[in-house]
Chains A and B, each alone.
Chain A
Amino acid sequence: MLIAPYIYSKLLRWNAEVTEIVPDLATSMPEIPDRLTFIFKLRPGTQWWDGTPLTSEDVAFTFMRIADPRLNSPHRYKVGPLDRVETPDDRTAVFKLQRPFAPLISYLATGWMMVLPKRWVETKGDRFQDALGSGPFKIVSRQRAVATRFERNPLYYVPDRPYPDAVDFRVIPDFATLDSALIAGEIDYIPTLTDKSRVDAILAANPRLQVIQNPGLHWNFFIMNCEKPPFRDKRVRQAFNLLIDREEYLKVVHSTGGKPSGPVTWGFERYAIPQDQLARLPGYRKPKDQDIREAKALLAAAGYEGGLSVHNITTTRPEHATYHDGSLALKDQLARYGIDLRLDISDQATLQAKRRAGAFESHVYVNGGSQEIDEYLYGPHYTGQARNVNRYSNPELDALLDRQREIYDEQERAQLIMEIQRKLLEEVPSVWLADPIYVTLVSPRLHNYKPYRAFDLSSDLYDAWVEG
């Protein structure tokens, strides 16, 4: 995912600020003559690196491949009820749906929706090592988990982009080495830092670094296994939601600052519940006296007056420090109310297996990164979805989630999404915690770097240039 956005193009893409969808390979936004047809016109003259033309046949191949149930793509849900892609000519791709699917345009603009070269993939496969792309950069060398070198693609459809002639990606597994490399000017940026003491230490050693702050599109949440006791009982879930102090969580886990979040992270301004409204809701109120009183009553009613012990899975993998730090922070908080969060620490592979098998009672998790709201709500909460880690099921909510997928009017859909969030806050399949302000430290020689807010990184170096 770190590589693909640099070497492939999509039909549409989000701008770096995630405020607008703009055409990428398409000449304009699609024409939608009826709710089941999306017509994309491709830019003339777009080519793969080897000079062969990129055609609607490649587009049809890519999306029918994702939709093919035999391939079992984990992203199949993003093309929803896609029936077929017709190619009346080389430059026109017509998406035909079986039923309306509002998120389609937005999903097509997110990461993972890269258009692949049909003939190349059919003969050589889809490994980056042997990739043929059409994006802003070409891969010139790659050693997996060590380094990848990109060079500017001279056949890219925007003649004056990208500015950098070459980009070197290096995997530096040790954080101290990574920080030292930035301080010494050996690398040009470190994104998504949320540990203030680490940021301060780097800046103290090199005050010339640029500091860019932005909200992310990821969300921190406390997952509760709704199939098992004690969280099968809604009252227990509600009690946890009331007891957890989100501001304290933020101070401990993400010291660069941030805000409490509802089911949609506060960074996703278009759909998130406004902070002033959130602050009046149970669990978010200050001071917490009333929440604590109500939580104790709920626990007592559920038969846990004397406290309870809860199994919590976590990992010590440095890239997932939030899981571990988050579990520790909540363990400390909940202990004040007689709740013992028993940490079960394992490596990432074991954690994944336990999460998938539902072999846990609770877990602090970070998810998200998409620019499409459906990904925040549908996957994690719809009955039977693989991303529904909580194993939550509620037919009433399922119906609402289905409905929001069919509403093309943005305002109407936004209203329904607000209703879904309120329903989720009442049901509490998860406790949504607080999400950080991400800090990106950038070398003084790198200009116009736009830190990515989502998994889709294609825009971060699009306008960037390097001095001297």
Chain B
Amino acid sequence: MTGYLVRRLLLLVPVLLGVTCTVFVAMRVLPGDLAVVQLGEYATPEALQAFREEHGLNDPLVVQYFRWLGDLVQLDFGESMRSRGRPVLDEIVQRLPVTLELTAFAFSFALIVAIPSAIVAAVKQGTWVDYLARVLSMLGLATPSFVIGSLMVALPAIWFGWIPPIRYVPFTADPLGNLSQFVLPGIALGLILAGTLSRMLRSQLLEVLRQDYVRTARSKGLSERLVVLRHALKNAFIPVVTIMGLQVGVLMGGTIIIESIFSLPGIGRLMVESVSLRDYPTVQGIVVFMSIFYVLINLAVDVMYAWLDPRIRYA
């Protein structure tokens, strides 16, 4: 197991090299001039030239890339252009808790909704409960999170003169206030995942419930609850966990819209602002940071397989 983990962590190196290379090139390929965006389009050519010189933008791209990479391995993500010299890492660290909390809420909501509904739908296959669960999961899957999010903000305002909290409060300042502001965004973001997981888990459960060992468990006289929860559910979860790992990326992408709708100052909003301002160091820093996070989550998912099914061994 340890050897497997080390090998997987070593694999991070080529993955991250690929990510750094891709995001570096992508930002430079984008049309638009960083100096013009930062200084304004009426800035004099001398000022623009001085800006480019100061930030090393006149150096060959290869030099710029390796300089950035060299800083990166020392955990120096560079300085944000939009914040006029603030370290990118500080910006990310300030915004990251918001996005992580939002993602955690969305994930929790998806699990809380998907698991029971999938179990009930599978056990009661073909009944109205099953049909209802399937229709609702399809609805969750088919409705974009920005539509749900916008309705969650606009409808209460129109009907009751109330909107969800849009003034971000850190957890340390007001724990209850902090948690309450993530409930609706978490639901808006988690609905698609809930729909996906519910459908996936239902179909896996149906398959597992037809297996011989489940029949054996039933014939031993175990209660249906025990059969489903202890014997079937764990095995049905393996492909679902894979999907959950992959969906972390989708959720992270979804935060960009949801953070804007609910005025949450997270990484998603920082990313949008930074791309539009061509803030190379910040965009690059965010992408690298998120890539590491994504890879580690999926590593954790792989490790979970062994727990879910002891037959799986890592060579």
| Chain A interfacial positions (CB closer than 8 Å to B) | 72, 74, 127, 143-147, 168, 170-174, 176-177, 179-181, 183-186, 205-206, 317, 346-350, 352-356, 386-387
B199 at the interface (CB under 8 A from A): no
Complex Cα–Cα for A179 and B277 (A): 25
B44 nearest CB neighbor, chain A only: A72
Q: With contacts A174-B153, A184-B163, A350-B32 known, what are 6 further pairs, Cβ within 8 A?
A: A144-B83, A173-B269, A174-B150, A177-B166, A183-B158, A352-B36
Say how far B167's CB is from chain A's closest CB, in angstroms. 7
CB < 8 Å: which of B33, B43, B265, B278 contacts A146? B265
Interface residues on chain B, number (Cβ under 8 Å): 42
CB < 8 Å: which of A176, A186, A348, A349 contacts B261? A176
B242 at the interface (CB under 8 A from A): no
CB < 8 Å: which of A144, A174, A348 contacts B82? A144
- Cross-chain contact A72 with B260 (CB below 8 angstroms): no
Say how far A168's CB is from chain B's closest CB, in angstroms. 8
- A179 / chain B contacts, CB cutoff of 8 Å: 154, 157
Q: Which of B151-175 contact A (CB under 8 A)?
A: 153-154, 156-158, 161-163, 166-168
- Cross-chain contact B32 with A347 (CB below 8 angstroms): yes
What are the 6 tightest A-B residue pairs by CB atom distance, in nearest-first order?
A349-B32, A72-B47, A180-B157, A386-B42, A146-B265, A350-B31
Complex Cα–Cα for A171 and B270 (A): 12
- Cross-chain contact B82 with A355 (CB below 8 angstroms): no
Q: What number of A-B contacts does a CB cutoff of 8 Å give?
A: 116
- Cross-chain contact B31 with A346 (CB below 8 angstroms): yes
B41 at the interface (CB under 8 A from A): yes
- Cross-chain contact A127 with B153 (CB below 8 angstroms): no
Say how far B32's CB is from chain A's closest CB, in angstroms. 3
CB < 8 Å: which of B41, B83, B153 contacts A180? B153
The answer to whether A72 and B50 touch (CB under 8 A), given A206-B161, A352-B36, A353-B31, is: yes
Complex Cα–Cα for A172 and B265 (A): 10
Complex Cα–Cα for A185 and B161 (A): 8
B58 at the interface (CB under 8 A from A): no
**Can you list 25 A-B contacts (CB < 8 A)?**
A72-B50, A74-B44, A145-B273, A146-B168, A146-B269, A147-B168, A168-B167, A173-B260, A177-B150, A177-B166, A179-B154, A179-B157, A180-B153, A180-B156, A180-B158, A183-B158, A184-B162, A205-B158, A347-B32, A348-B276, A349-B33, A350-B30, A350-B31, A350-B32, A386-B44
The answer to whether A174 and B41 touch (CB under 8 A), given A146-B168, A346-B31, A347-B276, is: no
Complex Cα–Cα for A346 and B31 (A): 9
- B150 / chain A contacts, CB cutoff of 8 Å: 174, 176-177
- Cross-chain contact A177 with B153 (CB below 8 angstroms): yes
Q: Which of B75-119 contact A (CB under 8 A)?
A: 82-84, 94
Complex Cα–Cα for A168 and B168 (A): 12
- Cross-chain contact B157 with A205 (CB below 8 angstroms): yes
Say how far A71's CB is from chain B's closest CB, in angstroms. 8
- B44 / chain A contacts, CB cutoff of 8 Å: 72, 74, 386
- A317 / chain B contacts, CB cutoff of 8 Å: 276
- A145 / chain B contacts, CB cutoff of 8 Å: 82, 269, 273
The answer to whether A72 and B43 touch (CB under 8 A), given A172-B263, A176-B153, A352-B37, is: yes
- A174 / chain B contacts, CB cutoff of 8 Å: 150, 153, 260-261, 263
Write the B277-312 contact mask toward A (1 if CB under 8 angstroms, else 0). Answer: 110000000000000000000000000000000000
Say how far A316's CB is from chain B's closest CB, in angstroms. 11
Per DSSP, chain B at the interface is: loop
- Cross-chain contact B32 with A127 (CB below 8 angstroms): no
Complex Cα–Cα for A290 and B304 (A): 79
Q: Which of B36, B40, B43, B154 has most chain A Cβ within 10 Å?
A: B154
- Cross-chain contact A181 with B31 (CB below 8 angstroms): no
Complex Cα–Cα for A205 and B44 (A): 48
Complex Cα–Cα for A74 and B43 (A): 6
B46 at the interface (CB under 8 A from A): yes
- B167 / chain A contacts, CB cutoff of 8 Å: 147, 168, 170, 186
- Cross-chain contact A176 with B31 (CB below 8 angstroms): no
B85 nearest CB neighbor, chain A only: A127
The answer to whether A352 and B153 touch (CB under 8 A), given A72-B50, A173-B269, A174-B261, is: no
Complex Cα–Cα for A456 and B82 (A): 22
CB < 8 Å: which of A74, A172, A186, A349 contacts B277? A349
B262 at the interface (CB under 8 A from A): yes
Say how far A363's CB is from chain B's closest CB, in angstroms. 12
- B278 / chain A contacts, CB cutoff of 8 Å: 349
The answer to whether A356 and B166 touch (CB under 8 A), given A72-B43, A143-B265, A177-B153, is: no
- Cross-chain contact A170 with B166 (CB below 8 angstroms): yes
The answer to whether A181 and B276 touch (CB under 8 A), given A349-B37, A352-B32, A352-B37, is: no
Complex Cα–Cα for A144 and B95 (A): 12
Complex Cα–Cα for A348 and B277 (A): 8
- A177 / chain B contacts, CB cutoff of 8 Å: 150, 153, 163, 166, 260-263
- A185 / chain B contacts, CB cutoff of 8 Å: 161
Complex Cα–Cα for A288 and B33 (A): 42
- Cross-chain contact B263 with A183 (CB below 8 angstroms): no
B94 nearest CB neighbor, chain A only: A143
CB < 8 Å: which of B32, B50, B163 contacts A353? B32
Complex Cα–Cα for A170 and B167 (A): 8
- B269 / chain A contacts, CB cutoff of 8 Å: 145-146, 173
B261 nearest CB neighbor, chain A only: A174
B161 nearest CB neighbor, chain A only: A184
B259 nearest CB neighbor, chain A only: A173
Complex Cα–Cα for A387 and B42 (A): 6
- B260 / chain A contacts, CB cutoff of 8 Å: 173-174, 177
The answer to whether A181 and B166 touch (CB under 8 A), given A72-B44, A176-B150, A346-B31, is: yes
A177 nearest CB neighbor, chain B only: B153
- Cross-chain contact A349 with B276 (CB below 8 angstroms): yes
Say how far B269's CB is from chain A's closest CB, in angstroms. 7
- Cross-chain contact A353 with B33 (CB below 8 angstroms): yes
Say how far B86's CB is from chain A's closest CB, in angstroms. 8
Q: Which of B43, B47, B94, B153 has most chain A Cβ within 10 Å?
A: B153
- B94 / chain A contacts, CB cutoff of 8 Å: 143
- A206 / chain B contacts, CB cutoff of 8 Å: 161
The answer to whether A186 and B50 touch (CB under 8 A), given A144-B83, A353-B36, is: no
